[in-house]
Structure 1
Amino acid sequence: MKEKDICDIIIENVIKEWHISMSNAKDEKWEQPLYSKKKIEKAGKILANRDSSQEEINQALLILNNWRSSHAYPLKIITDKLIRDNSHAIVVQRLKRLDSIIGKLERFPQMSLYKMQDLGGCRVILNSINQVYKSVSNYKSSHVLHELKKENDYIQNPKTSGYRSYHMVYQFKSKSNDIYNKNMLIEIQFRTQLQHLWATALETMGIYTKTNLKSSIGDKDVLRFFVLVSSLFALKEGTPVCPNTSDNSDEIILELKDIDKKLNIISTLSAIAVATNHISKIPKEKKGYHLLLLNFEEKEVKIASFPLKQIEAATNAYNKIEEENLPNINAVLVSASTFDSLKEAYPNYFADMKQFVNMMRKILKDT
């Protein structure tokens, strides 16, 4: 496939360039912020404006990619501590996708790229609600220099979209590396396995239908289906249901059955899980960065893995592939300690929806 060839060439060239640049260096290189707050904010406005010239967009993308890539070091420091403190959990990190950044800037015209809080994000996936709140409490009470800027409990107060998780946003602070003591914001998400299943199923459906369901954009019945599922899961976990849904599981299930009968959502997710049934390359590196390239048309997930010392190459490859704006490729740069945890944390990129599908089929069948 043409897109796959382009990605291969980009990755090969980036790795060659990295080896040349590092031939005389011993330490890993981290991207550093090169632009002022004013220039970063201006770049965000240009990218949000559909009337911007191509020349303006190209320059703005350079600034955005540098600013996003500069979050990799603060993200790693915060994620490493979360891994040490949560040995029983799955902890992963990612840099926000370019299309997600631009989409957010377009939806919220007053938003500043410089102040965007989730360019770097890490996720802690736990087994229970109690574990979520314990992990949140432990991190907040630990001796970190980072400044807590914002927190939202979307478990006790679910979003109208059905999204449930606990969010904290920290401004990175370091005594040893002052270059990152700017407005480097890192978002931490704490969620249960059940909340995670819901979120990844929603994203899978959004990728497949080419609609931004995560932002409540798309077919109203599909959106309603996922809100109802979220409320059903909330009842299982003993937490508040989503706005505008019943708190009676039987009523929720009846409405779910009506929507699924009309749209066959469960069957669609099942078909995706069956269709995307192979991975082109199993990563050899247990620890490092993994560039996931999902092609729904070819029903394939391609993985390019980079050791920890190649973070600069990994972010450069990610930036260049996104700049190509390939129509059938959905890319994300993530990090996880093992391949199994990577697959479990990002099932949407492997279309591994079996657990969600089986759970929903049992729920709808047993009533």
Structure 2
Amino acid sequence: MKELELPDVKDVLVEYRQMQLLYRSALKEIGTKLEILNDEFKFVHKYNPIEHIESRLKSEESIMRKLLRKGVDVTVENIQKYIDDIAGVRVICSFTPDIYRIVDMISSQDDIEVLKAKDYMINPKPNGYRSYHLIVKVPIFLSDKVIPTKVEIQIRTVAMDFWASLEHKIYYKYEGNAPEYIRTELKECADMIAFLDSKMLAINEEVRSIRQEDSRQ
């Protein structure tokens, strides 16, 4: 892949690296909240909706690429204004209803402000991608001030994450220009993943129904 020729942005990157403390802290804050909510749900309902949680900070190169694609100057102000996913959290669930449970639990937190929500479950992307995306602001308490900081939260099932991870690797090999037949086959795989999710959910609901019936007897 051709290496990006970046403008002289050394001063911007130095200032951005100082800001990374905020984004790392925001990842910790959201991660802790999710773990607590998962523990509470497990205690109350004897079931944990979250399989695991991943977090990452967007690389400096990716940030520069995104700003250049948007056609804006490379400044710290534009990094904060135009890039919502510098800090990213991925929440992997067992079943599709868990996605909406987690969305509701996060959105109901008093100190979390939901800025954007995109439901790719109801409206999948043309390539078949399914997930639920939230852009939120979480307050970061420093020694002398409180700074609301943006975090992107992606929520998807294990099966969806499997497809998305491999689809990304395949597209990376083609530098985003995969042949039409590859795109078609990946879309077919996405549809199979959606069917698999619905099938596993139906099995889980059947097992739960049987257990409830046995407990009444």
1:150 corresponds in structure 2 to: 116
TM-score (norm 1): 0.44
In structure 2, what is the Cα distance between the partners aligned to 1:118 and 1:57?
A: 20
Residues 119, 223 of structure 1: alpha-carbon distance in 2 compared, 3 angstrom cutoff: same
Equivalent position of 1:128 in the other structure: 95
User: Is 1:91–2:91 an aligned residue pair?
Assistant: no
| Structure 1 partner of 2:67 | 105
| AA in 2 matched with 1:226 | L
Pick aligned residue for 2:186 from 223, 226, 243: 226
Give deviations 1:133-162, integer Å, cap 9, x for gaps: 112112212x33121111111111111233
| Cα distance in 1, alignment partners of residues 183 and 67 from structure 2 | 22
User: Given the alignment of the two structures, is residue 188 of structure 1 paired with residue 153 of structure 2, yes or no?
Assistant: yes
CA deviation vs aligned residue, 1:190-228 (integer Å, no higher than 9, x gap): 110011001111223244x262xxxxx222333333223
Q: Which sections of structure 1, spanning at least 5 residues, go unmatched?
A: 1-48, 212-216, 239-367
Matches within 5 A, 1:138-217: 138-141=105-108, 143-174=109-140, 179-182=145-148, 184-207=149-172, 209=173, 211=175, 217=176
> Secondary structure of the residue that 2:166 maps to in structure 1?
helix
Residues 244-255 of structure 1 mapped to structure 2, 5 A cutoff? none
Match of 2:118, SS state, is strand
Greater relative contact order (CA < 8 Å, ≥ 6 in sequence): 2
Q: Distance in 2 between matches of 1:82 and 1:96?
A: 20
* 1:253 matched residue in structure 2: none
Q: What residue in structure 1 maps to residue 203 of structure 2?
A: none
Alignment correspondent of 1:81: 33
Q: CA deviation at 1:117?
A: 0.9
Which residue does the alignment assign to 2:202?
Answer: none
Q: What secondary structure sits across from 1:77 in the alignment? A: helix
Q: Structure 2: how far apart are the matches of 1:62 and 1:86?
A: 37
Structure 2: state its 5+ residue gaps: 40-47, 199-217
Q: Distance in 1 between matches of 2:97 and 2:153?
A: 17
- 2:210 corresponding residue in structure 1: none
Distance 1:163 1:180, change over 3 A: farther
In the alignment, the residues of structure 2 paired with residue 174 and residue 57 of structure 1 have an alpha-carbon distance, to the nearest angstrom, of 27
Task: Confirm or deny that 1:60 pairs with 2:19.
Answer: no
1:312 maps to what in 2? none
**2:71 is paired with a residue of what secondary structure?**
coil
Q: Secondary structure at the match of 2:135?
A: strand
Alignment RMSD = 2.7
- Does the C-alpha gap of structure 1 residues 103 and 133 become closer, same or farther in structure 2, counting only changes over 3 Å? same
**Equivalent-residue separation in structure 2 for 1:160 and 1:177 (angstroms):** 46
CA distance in 2, matches of 1:195, 1:83: 21
Q: TM-score, normalised by structure 2?
A: 0.72
TM-superposition CA deviations, 1:209-251 (whole Å, max 9, x none): 262xxxxx2223333332231122223334xxxxxxxxxxxxx
